[in-house]
């Protein structure tokens, strides 16, 4: 389609506008003026110059000059054109016209004849389809006239008055044609260069390639025509088919070269189209269209969901605003699939190719540009989504601050980048009673509270400090540079502590965040608990710093404090305790880690053994031997209780079987967990163990603590009754330390009472402790059950217990706990020495 010319600005029309020089550079206008002036001067001077006409010329001067002008006009009308950058170069039959004109007309008249013929021919061409202005037509004609002048001069100097068909004249005509080519080529190259239609290297490469084959044909046609004029003019009719074939050959050669050039430029331009952004693709597309089509102007309209974007670029060398945009403009809608990407409009310099070919090429280029724009938009969208995903991965979506994963990563990186001795502080903040906010106002209002807390925390943070949301209602502030406060009373040799300043920051945060806020029309205030941990950057991992701050925060919430600081006493949970459950499972899978140490109970007077208590130990492969206090709580609160109890019973009954085989008839006591007494299947486990070891039930004593029987009384009573019915003895351990000592002995009868060692330790100096021991001894006597005093370590304690009438005791005074492989010998020795131990004891006697 043809676009209307760009409207000219309101500038007053001058002779430059009238001649068509508007929009051209000063250099082009100067060259045009010089070429026209020189051509007119040479044409007029040559016509006035008296040059004698050789006698063998076939025509008169008038007819010869007219024929020369007609030949020039015919040669220009039969011109062939090809595109060179944004310019168009015409290749004509000028050399043939010169050779014939030189023979039929005086040489001095050739510049004038060429000027007249060229002006007439280009005027007709401009009127038909070229749309060239006065300046362009005159410039072209003047250039050809100067070429004819130079050619005539060279031919005259070489040929002189030699006959037409002489070798000298033929050489002169060829030399003149070559001079014509050099002059016209030089002027055309200079014009294209000044007008910036094409690069200089491209001009000097393509014009000779297109012109030289036609130049050779022109010379041959011209020389043959001269021979025909002289020998027989009728032969000129034979030139018509030959000239037609040459014209077709030249046209095919130029068209093939033009199409090859255009598609090479097309491939080069489309290879640069892919870009990261729309503007990059648009810029490359505009440059490529100018290069491929030699366009005067290219406009691009890109349609996106956000709106339309317009881009435009003019070809160099001409101001289109002043010169206007006459000529063909092709517009194509760019589509990818069913999606319209935009429109591409190309103003061609001249219709050098048939319109369908231009339209096909522009359509193909528009498709490539549309694909590149679509890919750039998709790439931009993908990059935007990737950036958003990266942001979401590192930030809390509700509050916009960092999330826990980002805090751990960035905090660890920050600590590694700091000086090793720099103090850093981590503040963990938790909202007290936040569930009440959610429960009363709803989760949406709760989210508003959290967002406002994050905002206030950000207001109080400083540059380089990291703010994060680490839990539902928990936030963190990492302070990478905490100063130190020096106390005037602090000795000079001691290092000042940064902890007070960190605590001050924590209190400021708690006070600022705790200011009243209005949510859903309700004015409320929240309380903040803050845990503070301070350490040197090079001496702690960031995860350890988080752990310490968490411990401090837990303490603050437990003690209902606003701020609490970390100290090492808060390390209740260690890595050893975390690994304890797995290591216990490994210990139960082998035979040599869970072992028993056995301690006899003896008659207080004779020291003869009356029973043996099994005390469990753990031979830990890494930590050494562990007592029950180190692991029994973990056992009682996990599924390991049943296999652990099974293992202890097996070990105890095995040991009892060994001393029974040695002739020592004593029961073995095993401590029982509270959870075991709540298991209705526990009595079955006991009877099964007794059956497997072929041990009478009377030789097994199960020690229970009085506190285990406080709750679930019905279940406990049933289990104990079933055990008693099976013949198993029940011992009440740690008697006197709980709240149900008297109640349990009446509700669940036992066979033995063991007085807790705390009363035995204090009975010498405490009348109250002595009264408890006395009451337990008397209670046992009245109920008919055994009484054993635990923890007897001195002669004084033994004597006091004997005086109170306590029959049995257990403790280091008699025998320490020992491995199972030594207990038989120890029991034998105690039994054999018993008669010798019957003697009066004084408080100061040694045992």
Q: How many CA atoms lie within 13 A of 750 on its CB side?
A: 28
Nearest Cα neighbor of 571 from 546, 551, 557 is: 551
Query: Residue 93's closest CA among 117, 111, 76, 116?
Result: 76
At how many degrees (to 10) do helices 820-833 and 641-661 cross?
A: 40
- Which two tokens mark 844? 């100061």
306 is catalytic: no
Enumerate helices (H) and strands (E) in the chain, giving the number of each. 28, 23
Q: Which helix (H) or strand (E) covers residue 499, if one does?
A: helix 499-513
CA distances from 64 to 39, 99, 151, 205, 422 (A): 21, 12, 17, 37, 105
Report the C-alpha gap between 514 and 508 in whole angstroms.
10
Give the residue ranges of DSSP H helices in 294-442: 320-323, 355-394, 404-417, 434-441
Contact 759, 738 (CB under 8 A): no
Sort strands 329-336 and 522-524 into parallel, antiparallel or unpaired. Answer: unpaired
Q: What residues contact 554, with CB distance under 8 A and at least 6 apart?
A: 531, 570
Instruction: Measure the N-to-C terminal CA separation of the chain; round to a whole number of Å.
Output: 126
The dihedrals phi and psi of 230, each to the nearest 5 degrees, come to: -80, -45
Residue 466: strand pairing partners = 478
The number of CA neighbours under 13 Å toward the Cβ of 552 is 28
Cα distance between residue 467 and residue 404, in whole Å: 10
| CA gap 327, 3 in Å, rounded | 8
In angstroms, rounded to a whole number, what is the distance separating the alpha carbons of residues 21 and 135?
7
Cα radius of gyration rounded to whole Å, the chain: 57
Query: Which one from 790, 793, 796, 832 is the annotated catalytic residue?
Result: 790
State the Cα–Cα distance between residues 343 and 309, nearest whole angstrom. 11
Write out the two tokens for 733: 């351990």
Q: Which residues contact 223 (CB under 8 A, 6 or more apart)?
A: 99, 170, 173, 174
Torsion angle, CA of 284/286/287/293, rounded to 10 degrees? 130
Distance CA 776, CA 296 (A): 118
Output the six-digit token pair for 695. 């041990």
Bridge pairing between strands 609-620 and 594-603: antiparallel
Three-state secondary-structure class, residue 775: helix
The C-alpha atoms of residue 419 and residue 462 are separated, in whole angstroms, by 19
Helix ranges restricted to H, 20-166: 26-48, 61-77, 94-104, 110-125, 134-159
Indicate which residues carry an active-site annotation: 790
């Amino acid at each position: 389609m043809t676009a209307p010319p760009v409207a000219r600005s309101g500038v007053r029309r001058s002779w430059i506008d009238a001649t068509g020089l508007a929009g051209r550079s000063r250099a082009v206008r100067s060259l045009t003026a010089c070429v026209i002036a020189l051509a007119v001067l040479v044409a007029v001077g040559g016509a006035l110059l008296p040059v004698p006409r050789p006698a063998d010329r076939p025509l008169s001067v008038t007819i010869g000059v007219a024929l020369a002008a007609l030949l020039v006009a015919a040669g220009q009308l039969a011109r062939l054109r090809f595109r060179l950058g944004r310019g168009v170069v015409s290749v004509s039959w000028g050399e043939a016209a010169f050779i014939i004109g030189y023979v039929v007309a005086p040489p001095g008249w050739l510049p004038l004849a060429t000027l007249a013929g060229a002006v007439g021919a280009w005027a007709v061409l401009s009127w038909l389809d070229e749309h060239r202005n006065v300046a362009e037509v005159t410039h072209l004609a003047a250039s050809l006239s100067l070429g004819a002048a130079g050619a005539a001069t060279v031919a005259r100097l070489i040929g002189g008055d030699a006959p037409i068909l002489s070798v000298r004249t033929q050489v002169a005509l060829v030399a003149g044609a070559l001079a014509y080519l050099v002059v016209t080529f030089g002027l055309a190259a200079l014009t294209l260069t000044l007008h910036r239609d094409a690069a200089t290297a491209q001009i000097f490469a393509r014009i000779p390639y297109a012109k030289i084959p036609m130049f050779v044909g022109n010379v041959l046609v011209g020389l043959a025509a001269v021979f025909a004029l002289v020998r027989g003019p009728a032969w000129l009719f034979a030139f018509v088919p030959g000239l037609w074939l040459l014209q077709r050959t030249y046209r095919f050669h130029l068209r093939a070269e033009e199409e090859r050039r255009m598609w090479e430029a097309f491939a080069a331009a489309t290879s640069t189209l892919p870009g990261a952004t729309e503007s990059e693709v648009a810029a490359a597309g505009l440059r490529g269209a100018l290069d491929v089509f030699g366009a005067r102007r290219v406009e691009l309209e890109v349609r996106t969901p956000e709106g339309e974007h317009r881009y435009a670029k003019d070809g160099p060398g001409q101001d289109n605003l002043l010169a206007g945009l006459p000529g063909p403009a092709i517009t194509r809608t760019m589509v990818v699939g069913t999606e319209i990407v935009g429109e591409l409009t190309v103003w061609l310099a001249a219709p050098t190719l048939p319109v369908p070919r231009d339209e096909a090429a522009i359509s193909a280029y528009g498709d490539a540009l549309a694909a590149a724009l679509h890919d750039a938009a998709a790439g931009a969208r993908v990059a935007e989504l990737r950036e958003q995903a990266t942001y979401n991965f590192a930030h809390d979506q509700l509050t916009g601050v960092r999330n826990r994963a980002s805090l751990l990563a960035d905090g660890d990186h920050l600590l590694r980048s700091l000086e090793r001795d720099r103090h850093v502080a981590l503040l963990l903040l938790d909202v007290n009673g936040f569930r009440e906010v959610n429960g009363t106002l709803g989760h949406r209002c709760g989210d508003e509270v959290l967002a406002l807390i994050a905002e206030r925390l950000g207001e109080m943070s400083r540059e380089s400090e990291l703010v994060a949301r680490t839990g539902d209602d928990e936030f963190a502030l990492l302070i990478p540079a905490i100063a130190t406060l020096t106390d005037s009373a602090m000795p000079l040799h001691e290092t000042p502590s940064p902890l007070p300043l960190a605590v001050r920051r924590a209190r400021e945060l708690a006070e600022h965040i705790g200011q009243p806020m209005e949510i859903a029309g309700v004015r409320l205030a929240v309380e903040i608990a803050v845990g503070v941990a301070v350490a040197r950057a090079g001496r702690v991992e960031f995860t350890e710093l988080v752990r310490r701050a968490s411990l401090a925060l837990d303490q603050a919430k437990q003690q209902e404090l606003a701020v609490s600081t970390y100290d090492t006493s808060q390390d209740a949970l260690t890595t050893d305790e975390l690994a304890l459950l797995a290591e216990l499972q490994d210990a139960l899978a082998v035979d040599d880690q869970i072992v028993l140490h056995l301690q006899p109970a003896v008659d207080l007077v004779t020291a003869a053994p009356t029973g043996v208590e099994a005390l469990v130990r753990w031979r830990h492969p890494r930590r050494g031997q562990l007592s029950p206090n180190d692991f029994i709580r973990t056992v009682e609160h996990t599924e390991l209780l049943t296999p652990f109890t099974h293992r202890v019973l097996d070990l105890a009954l095995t040991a009892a079987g060994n001393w029974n085989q040695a002739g020592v008839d004593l029961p073995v006591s095993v401590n029982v967990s509270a959870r075991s007494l709540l298991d209705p299947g526990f009595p079955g486990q006991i009877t099964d163990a007794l059956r497997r070891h072929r041990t009478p039930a009377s030789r097994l004593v199960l020690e229970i603590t009085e506190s285990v029987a406080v709750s679930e009384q019905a279940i406990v009573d049933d289990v104990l009754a079933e055990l008693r019915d099976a013949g198993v003895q029940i011992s009440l351990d740690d008697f006197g330390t709980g709240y149900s000592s008297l109640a349990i002995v009446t509700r669940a009868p036992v066979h033995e009472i063991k007085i807790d060692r705390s009363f035995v330790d204090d009975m010498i100096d405490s009348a109250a402790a002595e009264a408890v021991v006395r009451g337990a001894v008397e209670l046992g006597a009245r109920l008919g059950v055994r009484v054993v005093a635990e923890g007897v370590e001195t002669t004084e304690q033994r004597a006091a217990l004997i005086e109170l009438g306590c029959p049995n005791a257990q403790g280091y005074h008699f025998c320490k706990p020992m491995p199972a492989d030594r207990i038989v010998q120890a029991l034998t020795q105690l039994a054999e020495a018993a008669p010798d131990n019957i003697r009066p004891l004084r408080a100061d006697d040694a045992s």
